Amino acid sequence: MAEKNVGSAEPEAAVAASIKGDDLTHVNEQGRARMVDVGAKPRTARRAVAAGFVRMAPSTVELVRTGGAKKGDVLGVAQVAGIMAAKRCWEFVPMCHQVALTGVDVRFSVGDGGVAIEAECRCTGETGVEMEALTAVSVAGLTIYDMLKAHQRDMVIEEVRLLEKSGGASGDLHLTGGQSLCHVMRPRVATVEAVCVSERKGTRKHPVDAIELVPGSGVAGDAHAGNWHRQVSLLPAEAVDTMRDVLPELAPGDFAENVLTRGLDLKALPVGTVLAAGTAELVVTQIGKTCHNDCEISKLTGKCVMPREGIFCVVTRGGVVRAGDQVTVMTGDAPSGGGHSSEGGAR
């Protein structure tokens, strides 16, 4: 029986002629795919790091953070899936070799609108482990999607790429300046140092164990709660620290803040930024304010940090906030329902 021709020899010859040196080692002299023989290469220590990102809505991020997904532990399952995928990369990618991996690590960083994934693979062998690391990231991302698709179907798996590789004749490669993706994409987080309320306007707030945030209103039981754009006030503790040389007895609530935080430059957040605070969610509506004439701090020192450093928010999802909780920047592009900056009005 005559062998069936698949294309002419001329195009194959042209493809083969266009290949110079080792430009395409997975192509044979006929221009067709082959598995490269690495038997003559020396065995060296190999390492590769890859990364990716699963972009999702803030409410879906919160499910990951709190363990509220219907299918269970999202990151725990994704980690195992990524490790398993790295070990079986040769079965998924046709021309990959079966590599005896000596180590696989899959790491995650939650925040800023999604989950950052990083996979590191190691071996001692004749060929590198870049594909194993990339496969681990890809399958971990797919697993995160599968675990959360009941909650959100328009998640995006993106930016899957190699960050680092070392070992082998081609030398080392570092695409991140020594910083991992989990470091670069680490969420911006502050810690709540105190939560405060005042039952009457015109009085200093005082610390409480916890505050309840109510959508459309603000802090339950606070005199400034209401259907307006300044339902919750936040102030960085770093700003209060700058006043302690003059007023060493300053206490939480003295600047009329509901939430005293440490770790974020709050005034740098744009109007519209979505914040997760405790179990609640806020949207920034105003940066700073005009200090009213009867401000006690301003009278004593000639300045007040709330007008310069404080921010104001509305509550978009109810919940509880207490000292020790985190305030996490979720996204900076949410609709703000009208932004304000240093607007007058008593607080």
Residues 212-253: tens digit of each pLDDT:
999 999 999 999 999 999 999 999 999 888 888 788 888 999
**What was the pLDDT predicted at 137?**
97
CA dist 274 and 288 (Å) reads 17
Spatial neighbors of 100 by CB under 8 A, at least 6 apart, are 123, 125
CA dist 141 and 184 (Å) reads 18
**Cβ(196)–Cβ(263) below 8 Å:** no
CA–CA distances in Å: residue 121 to residues 24, 31, 107, 135, 171:
24, 31, 12, 10, 17
Same domain? For 197 and 274 the reply is yes
- 45 falls within a domain: yes
**What was the pLDDT predicted at 270?**
85
Question: What is the domain-level CATH number for residue 164?
Answer: 3.30.70.640
Looking at the annotation, which residues are catalytic?
146
Distance of CA 43 to the CA centre of its chain: 37
- 6 falls within a domain: no
Question: What is the domain-level CATH number for residue 301?
Answer: 2.40.33.20
- 272 falls within a domain: yes
**The amino acid at 130:** E
- 14 falls within a domain: no
CA dist 146 and 326 (Å) reads 27
Same domain? For 162 and 218 the reply is no
Same domain? For 146 and 62 the reply is yes
Same domain? For 55 and 172 the reply is yes
| Domain stop point among 184, 206, 227 | 184
Same domain? For 331 and 194 the reply is yes
Spatial neighbors of 177 by CB under 8 A, at least 6 apart, are none
**What was the pLDDT predicted at 285?**
93
Per-residue pLDDT in tens (0 to 9) along the chain, 347 residues:
343 333 434 444 443 444 344 455 666 677 777 777 777 777 889 999 999 999 888 889 889 988 889 999 999 999 999 999 999 998 898 888 888 999 999 999 887 688 999 999 999 888 889 999 999 999 999 999 999 999 999 899 988 999 999 887 777 777 754 445 554 444 578 999 999 999 988 778 999 999 999 999 999 999 999 999 999 999 999 988 888 878 888 899 988 899 999 988 898 888 888 899 999 999 999 998 766 555 555 555 556 778 889 999 999 999 999 999 999 887 644 333 344 444 443 33
CA–CA distances in Å: residue 188 to residues 110, 237, 259:
10, 16, 17
* Run of H or E residues at 274: strand 274-277
Spatial CA neighbour of 236 closest among 327, 342, 341 = 327
Distance of CA 333 to the CA centre of its chain: 15
**What was the pLDDT predicted at 134?**
96
Same domain? For 86 and 128 the reply is yes
Same domain? For 208 and 328 the reply is yes
**What was the pLDDT predicted at 3?**
39
Give the dihedral sign, CA 53/56/58/59: negative
Total number of domains constituting the chain: 2
**What was the pLDDT predicted at 5?**
39
CA dist 103 and 124 (Å) reads 10
Same domain? For 232 and 276 the reply is yes
Distance of CA 133 to the CA centre of its chain: 20
**Cβ(220)–Cβ(208) below 8 Å:** no
CA dist 269 and 341 (Å) reads 12
pLDDT in tens, 251-278: 999 888 999 999 888 988 888 888 999 9
Furthest-apart CA atoms within the chain: distance in Å: 103
- 140 falls within a domain: yes
Report DSSP state, residue 27: B
69 backbone dihedrals φ, ψ, rounded to 5°: -65, 145
Structural domain boundaries enclosing 295: 189-343
- 3-state class of 192 per DSSP? strand
